[in-house]
């Protein structure tokens, strides 16, 4: 039976869902909680899946880019103007609406790649080792207090 750990990150994040038929097609924001879950079938020498510092190291900066930003579909008619005006505060989603489902997938893929790099590129004397058997199980992104989306592979 696998062991699981999770770390949550909170960001204030906006998006435009240009394909939405209702009011979500207009710019709006959410107080989002992003939860990243790691899993391993065994514990390490310290009786852990991994130290929570590893999870923070792998994910925090990437998730933080969502904070006080606006996620926009690159096909949105206003994307160019928004990007020219607000620069890196506009997060481009290539030809897809930045729904919570799509954001969860984006963060999952980043976290998986970052965790893999950490497990393979760490020095032998690292204080917080991560084993190659540790993997991202899922990412959950909340949109409201009662709504969330998850992604896993």
Mean pLDDT per 10-residue section of the chain, whose length is 153 residues: 94 97 96 97 96 93 97 97 97 98 98 94 86 96 96 97
Of 66, 78, 76, 82, whose CA–CA distance to 31 is shortest?
66
Element holding 148 (H helix, E strand)? strand 147-151
Separation of alpha carbons 62 and 77, rounded Å? 26
Residue 124 pLDDT: 81
CATH of the domain at 116: 3.30.479.10
Residue 126, φ and ψ in degrees, nearest 5? -60, 140
Of 95, 87, 75, 98, whose CA–CA distance to 13 is shortest?
98
How far apart, in Å, do the first and last CA atoms of the chain sit?
A: 18
Residue 32 pLDDT: 97
| Number of domains forming the structure of the chain | 1
How many CB atoms within 10 Å of residue 100? 23
Is 35:112 a contact under the CB 8 Å cutoff?
no
Cα angle 69, 81, 97; round to 5: 55
H and E: helices and strands count for the chain:
3, 6
Residue 127 pLDDT: 87
52: helix, strand or coil: helix
Q: Is the pTM for the entire model greater than 0.85?
A: yes
Q: What residues make up the domain containing 66?
A: 3-151
Separation of alpha carbons 71 and 79, rounded Å? 10
β-bridge mates for residue 32, sequence order: 11
């Amino acid at each position: 039976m696998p062991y699981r750990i999770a770390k949550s990150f909170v960001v204030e994040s906006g998006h435009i869902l240009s394909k939405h038929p209702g009011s979500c097609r207009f710019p709006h924001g959410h107080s989002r909680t992003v939860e990243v879950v790691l899993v391993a079938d065994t514990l390490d020498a310290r009786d852990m899946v991994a130290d929570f510092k590893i999870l923070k190291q792998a994910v925090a900066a990437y998730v933080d880019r969502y904070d006080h930003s606006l996620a926009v579909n690159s096909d949105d008619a206003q994307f160019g103007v928004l990007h020219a005006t607000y620069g890196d505060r506009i997060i481009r989603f290539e030809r897809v609406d930045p729904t919570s489902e799509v954001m969860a997938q984006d963060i999952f893929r980043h976290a998986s790649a970052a965790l893999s790099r950490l497990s393979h590129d760490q020095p032998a004397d690292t204080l917080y080792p991560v084993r190659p058997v540790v993997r991202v199980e899922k990412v959950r992104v909340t949109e409201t207090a009662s709504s969330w989306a998850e992604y896993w592979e």
